[in-house]
Amino acid sequence: MTTPTVCPGPCNNAWRLAEAKLATDGTEHDIPVTWGKPVHCIGCVNRTRAKLAELPELIVAIGLEALHGTAPKATGTIGRIHIPAWPGQASRLLTDHIVGGLLELEDDIRELRRLRHRPGRGTEAQNAVGAVTFLAAHLEWALVEHPAAHEIHDRMSANPAAQITGWHRAATRFTRRDARLEHYRVPCPRCELLTLYRGDADDYIECRNTNCQTLLTPAEYHDHTKRLADQTRMARAT
């Protein structure tokens, strides 16, 4: 039986920030901590599983983006622009990054769990689907027992959940699937930029500053706006 730990996922970003402030200048806070069950919390496990499942389709969409992005305009001279090879190259680089990452993580887990080597699967798409299927089957293990499972999620983290989240974020941005976002026009509690957004189906509000990526529950967001309003009121009163 593993003892529960503080979930290393983005669910605790606001709590970690508040704890850091408490440690440096003694500012008390009432942000609740989210415990892992036993390492990642249920919410982070479910979010990771959902993102992983969406990756094969997103990889296809990245490829299509390249085709449409580089297609020359057939008719008309007005508005014709020189389209460089870049959209196709960007799509290629991102696909390599995501599929390469998936296969590396699969190989890593196969080695750690002493499983047989990854079978040859054929095309890149088949490789990606195979890796996603494998990772979905081993996700519970990966988010508890993987040597990096306790690492706090950030861009450099080898935590499997952080890696999957990073690939998903890069893919949704590239394919502009994240267009339907509601912008929350209040500075982020951590980086203080106006980068708080909530996606259609999301149960949390996310900072889109890639160096921050704080996640807030609606209740945390509510408390944050209330604190800001109180500060403004106090500033006016003095």
Q: Which is nearer to Zn ion, 89 or 225 (CB)?
A: 225
Q: Indicate whether 31 belongs to the interface with Zn ion (CB under 5 A).
A: no
Tokens describing residue 48: 């990771």
Total interface residues for Zn ion by CB under 5 A: 13
The contact pattern for Zn ion, residues 77-106, with x = CB under 5 A and - = no contact, is: ------------------------------
Q: Indicate whether 191 belongs to the interface with Zn ion (CB under 5 A).
A: yes
3-state SS, residue 202? coil
Q: Indicate whether 7 belongs to the interface with Zn ion (CB under 5 A).
A: yes
Q: Give all strands of the β-sheet with 181-184 in edge-to-edge order.
A: 181-184, 196-199, 205-207, 215-216
- Angle, in degrees to the nearest 10, between helices 42-70 and 160-174: 30
Q: Do the strands 196-199 and 181-184 form a parallel or antiparallel pair, or are they unpaired?
A: antiparallel
Q: Which is nearer to Zn ion, 13 or 127 (CB)?
A: 13
Min. distance of Cβ 72 from Zn ion in angstroms? 40
Q: Indicate whether 143 belongs to the interface with Zn ion (CB under 5 A).
A: no
Residue choice 66, 103, 128, 188 for contact with Zn ion (CB under 5 A): 188
Q: Which is nearer to Zn ion, 131 or 215 (CB)?
A: 215
Residue choice 29, 209, 217, 223 for contact with Zn ion (CB under 5 A): 209
Q: Indicate whether 5 belongs to the interface with Zn ion (CB under 5 A).
A: no
> Cα separation of 141 and 107, whole Å?
14
Residue choice 52, 190, 206, 216 for contact with Zn ion (CB under 5 A): 190
Residue choice 207, 215, 221, 224 for contact with Zn ion (CB under 5 A): 207
Q: Indicate whether 41 belongs to the interface with Zn ion (CB under 5 A).
A: yes
Tokens describing residue 22: 């408490």
Residue choice 44, 131, 164, 171 for contact with Zn ion (CB under 5 A): 44
Min. distance of Cβ 209 from Zn ion in angstroms? 5
> Cα separation of 207 and 195, whole Å?
5
Phi and psi angles of residue 184, each rounded to the nearest 5 degrees, phi first: -100, 110
Q: Indicate whether 9 belongs to the interface with Zn ion (CB under 5 A).
A: yes
Residue given tokens 């036993």 in the structure block: 38
| Interface residue list for Zn ion (CB under 5 A) | 7, 9, 11, 34, 41, 44, 188, 190-191, 207, 209, 212, 214
